[in-house]
Amino acid sequence: MYISLRVFRSSLLSCSVHKIMALRQSSDMSKFKEALKSAKQVVILSGAGISAESGIPTFRGAGGYWRKYQASSLATPGAFKTSPSLVWEFYHYRREVAAKAQPNAGHIAIADYEKKHSSDKQITVITQNVDGLHARAGTKNLIELHGNLYKTRCTKCKEVLVNTDSPICEALANRGAPDENVVGSDIPVKDLPHCQKPDCKGLLRPHIVWFGESLEPAVLSNAEAVMSTCDVCLVVGTSSVVYPAAMFAPQAAARGAIVAEFNLEPTPATPDFHYYFQGTCGTTLPEALAE
């Protein structure tokens, strides 16, 4: 079991599962809706793609860059160690973008579905996203696997706090512009966000699981528990290359759960799933989740 966050690029990763399954895949929406109707436990596993229509860049494709940096290369403990200023600028930018964004039709369809079925189904949203848009759309039963842009963690005393300040500290005001030609940041560490406890004063970091770091054990085991019992799983807007989340749905499909993928394009995990619905999730999800 991989518990640290990592990217696997090889499409061979899921082969062991899909070779055994040899699924006949369908994109028959009405057949999927029938399966969903009789499900008692439903999981919706989301990734950055569900927030793309809200204007939040994903980590793949053209939007995957901030300045000259590949966004995922800044989401690492090594980058923070080398340049806490640069990483804070990047996260300040992401906090500002997400704060201005609105939940889209995909987030809203999921929240409405949970509300409508609160008495007859157990519905859980497991998200890899850190933007808070599922909660803002009204989703209640939510597992945020990789943390949240609006939480900080003290690097010294480890205290986790919610922080929605804009900017999070004075030195970051008007910083974080994403354009390629913006020069590197050099904010002194003392001016970056710090723990307010008088006896600590440690440097704060975003409370986010970075590449190479482990997921919180309690969060991971909650997610695994619902994945191991769900009847139906919707895999929405994720490239299925970031582990451990990438193996959740293939494993559920391998034990017999009905899994449907909603994405703009096929992913390495697509062959593992019963259903594949191509398109923007702002269009496909409202249709899939409507009565």
Ligand X SMILES: NC(=O)c1ccc[n+]([C@@H]2O[C@H](COP(=O)([O-])OP(=O)(O)OC[C@H]3O[C@@H](n4cnc5c(N)ncnc54)[C@H](O)[C@@H]3O)[C@@H](O)[C@H]2O)c1
Q: Do 6 and 242 form a contact (C-beta atoms < 8 A)?
A: yes
Ligand-binding annotation for 212, yes or no, is no
Q: How far apart are CA 243 and CA 28, in angstroms?
A: 29
Tokens for 146, please give them: 């990789």
Place of tokens 């759960």: 257
Block residue for tokens 């497991």: 126
Region of 23-31, 182-190, 198-206, 235-243 interacting with ligand X (CB under 6 A): 235-243
Q: Among 130, 223, 232, 260, which residue interacts with ligand X (rule: CB under 6 A)? A: 130
> Residue 264, annotated ligand binder?
yes
Of 152 and 263, CB closest to ligand X: 263
Could you confirm whether 117 is annotated as catalytic?
Answer: no
Q: Which residues bind Zn ion (CB under 5 A)?
A: 154, 156-157, 195, 197, 200, 202
Question: Active-site residue among 92, 107, 134, 146?
Answer: 146
Size of the site for ligand X (CB under 6 A): 26
Residue 34, annotated as binding a ligand = no
How near is the Cβ of 58 to ligand X at its closest, in Å? Answer: 3
CB-wise, 157 or 225, nearer to Zn ion? 157
Which CB, 159 or 224, lies closer to Zn ion?
Answer: 159
Among residues 17, 187, 227, 242, the one that binds ligand X under rule CB under 6 A: 242
CB 45 within 8 A of CB 247: no
109 binds ligand X (CB under 6 A): no
Phi, psi of 274 (to 5 degrees): -75, -40
Residue from the set 14, 17, 18, 49 that interacts with ligand X by CB under 6 A: 49
Residue closer to ligand X, measured from CB, 22 or 62: 62
Shortest CB 151 distance to Zn ion, Å: 14
Q: Give the shortest CB-235-to-ligand X separation in angstroms.
A: 10
Annotated binding site for substrate: which residue ranges?
91, 94
Q: Which residues are catalytic?
A: 146
